[in-house]
Amino acid sequence: MSSSENPSSPGLKPFAAMVRREFAGYFRTPLAYVFLAVFNAFAVSLAFFVGGLYESGIASLDRFFLYHPWLWAFLAPAAGARLWAEERRQGTIELLLTWPITVWQAALGKFLAAWLFLACALLMTVPVALTVGWLGEPDWGVIVAGYAGSLLCAGACLGIAAIASALTRSQVIAFVTGFLACFVLVLVGYGVFDELLAGALGSGGVDEIRRLGLWRNLEPFTLGLIDVRPIAYFLSVAFAGLGLSTIIVERR
Amino acid sequence: MPLIEAKNLSKSYGAIRAVRDVSFAVDRGEVVAFLGPNGAGKSTTMKMLTGHLRADEGAATIAGFDVADQAVQAKQHLGYSPEGAPAYGEMTVREFLRFAADLRGLADPAESVRKTLDLCRLNEVAAQNIDTLSKGYRMRVGFAQAVIHDPAALILDEPTDGLDPNQKFEVRRILKEMAARKAVIVSTHILEEVGELCTRVIVIAKGEVRCDESREKVLARGSDLNAVFRQLTA
């Protein structure tokens, strides 16, 4: 019937190709290295100079992870801005959507590649943990839990970034809107903002809202508590973002 | 069974009816020139045929597969180069074609890339970033990704737009080589393509098919193709 080489189902190969291209795509421009450097510089300096990790004299990384919602709120949208905006700008979205891959496969491939990239940034901070291990005797289980929580938090921010990216052809607009949306989730349950909210809503209402914040969900991990609720929270934000961005791309 | 078929396709953008009730079928061995003034609905029709746009009414099939309901199968048999031949500019030509081959799940992607580089005479720029290529080469890269899987149906949106005469000749040469084995639609507003390349002409204007005839019949309408075109699209 056709001269096509492979009319049968090609299995996972197209999906794997998608993940590979997207992941490699980060390293095709100098931006990736700038990103990794900025992430590391901020992760380390916030922990040591603002969080007083060294002065605290406690062999734990909770002061390091404390700032991760801020970092991800800023850097996940930076890494996620290109997901769809770049396809639209270059016009390649029309190619991608006429190649034999479903929008869902393409979206999941892009998302996983971006998440993997954020995981690389996080992995580069392992020397911080090693330093703490060298200085004292930390509970390694708690540290591993903290890293897992931070990675989940990154996925949630990336989900939001994916929606922002699906809505525009400009990476700058995608970044700014993604950042603002994540920023709101950081503020929820944080210091001054929390007090403002408590004043407005009373302590009962504010507790419910606080559960929607990034830090409130990351905190248990940094104490070594692996609870279902924060895991479900991060994963639902991540996958809701992924799903919504896919629907936006399909509809347009 | 026709390899490319449009059945009563219609599409509106708000109050504007871009395409109305367009039907045609293209068989193996046919090269159809899809002609029309700018804004006539050519690109919209092509986007519906390739499954990029969903039709408001009607259906499109590629090799018998519905582009909406059996999208992945339909797309496996389709090669498509959108207007302007978009490509990932930060990749080299070879990387880009390899990605296209992998995404299509081809059995021997390396061999498919090699053959396509030969066919489209892209070997000398294979290691260059697509961003750095001239327009002629870029168009050829767009064409190359569309034929890398040797598809039964080939749809090309303005494949010779902006090319110099030598480059146009080159694209036509490749198309002629492949035409006998495929159903091909070439959208264009360059009338000379009709005589040089095509076996059949479909003229579309204001979203409707105005003419669907063999090349000979269209050429017999008058000696001045421009006048024929103006009369058909008025």
Complex prediction ipTM: 0.88
pLDDT tens across A199-215, in order?
Answer: 777 666 667 777 788 88
Whether residue B72 is found in the same domain as residue B27: yes
Query: What is the pLDDT at residue B226?
Result: 83
Show the domain range for B133: 85-150
Whether residue B182 is found in the same domain as residue B141: no
Domain boundary among B104, B131, B150: B150
Task: Please tell me if residue A101 touches chain B, with a CB cutoff of 8 Å.
Answer: yes
CATH of the domain at B1: 3.40.50.300
Picking from A6, A14, A98, the nearest residue to B80 by CB comes out as A98
pLDDT in tens, chain B (234 residues): 899 999 999 999 988 889 999 999 999 999 999 998 888 888 899 999 998 888 999 999 999 999 999 999 999 999 999 988 999 999 999 999 999 999 999 999 999 999 999 998 899 999 999 999 998 899 999 999 999 999 999 999 988 887 888 888 888 888 888 888 899 999 987 777 777 788 999 999 999 999 999 988 888 888 788 888 888 888
Q: What's the mean pLDDT when you consider all of chain A? A: 87
Query: What is the pLDDT at residue A6?
Result: 44
- In this predicted structure, the answer to whether residue A3 has a pLDDT above a threshold of 60 is no
Residue-range domain boundaries for chain A: 13-251
Task: Please tell me if residue A1 touches chain B, with a CB cutoff of 8 Å.
Answer: yes
Task: Please tell me if residue B116 touches chain A, with a CB cutoff of 8 Å.
Answer: no
Domain boundary among B129, B150, B171: B150
- In this predicted structure, the answer to whether residue A230 has a pLDDT above a threshold of 80 is yes
Among residues of chain B, what percentage have pLDDT more than 70?
100
Whether residue B55 is found in the same domain as residue B97: no
- In this predicted structure, the answer to whether residue A2 has a pLDDT above a threshold of 60 is no
- Asked if residues B97 and B88 have their Cβ atoms less than 8 Å apart, the reply is no
Which of 75-104 (B) contact A at CB < 8 A? Answer: 75-78, 80, 82, 84, 86-91, 99-100, 102-104
- In this predicted structure, the answer to whether residue A133 has a pLDDT above a threshold of 90 is no
Whether residue B162 is found in the same domain as residue B233: yes
Domain boundary among B150, B174, B191: B150
Query: What is the pLDDT at residue A204?
Result: 66
Query: What is the pLDDT at residue A198?
Result: 72
* Contact across the interface for B104 and A18, Cβ inside 8 Å: no
Task: Please tell me if residue B181 touches chain A, with a CB cutoff of 8 Å.
Answer: yes
- In this predicted structure, the answer to whether residue A157 has a pLDDT above a threshold of 90 is yes
The band of A1, judged by pLDDT with boundaries at 50, 70 and 90, is: very low
pTM (2 decimals)? 0.89
Domain count, chain B: 2
* Contact across the interface for A13 and B47, Cβ inside 8 Å: no
Whether residue B233 is found in the same domain as residue B185: yes
pLDDT tens across A40-85, in order?
Answer: 999 888 888 887 777 777 777 888 888 899 999 999 999 999 999 9
- Give the DSSP per-residue string, B110-139: HHHHHHHHHHTT-GGGTTSBGGGS-HHHHH
The band of A9, judged by pLDDT with boundaries at 50, 70 and 90, is: low
- In this predicted structure, the answer to whether residue A240 has a pLDDT above a threshold of 90 is yes
- Give the DSSP per-residue string, A230-249: HHHHHHHHHHHHHHHHHHHH
* Contact across the interface for A4 and B86, Cβ inside 8 Å: no
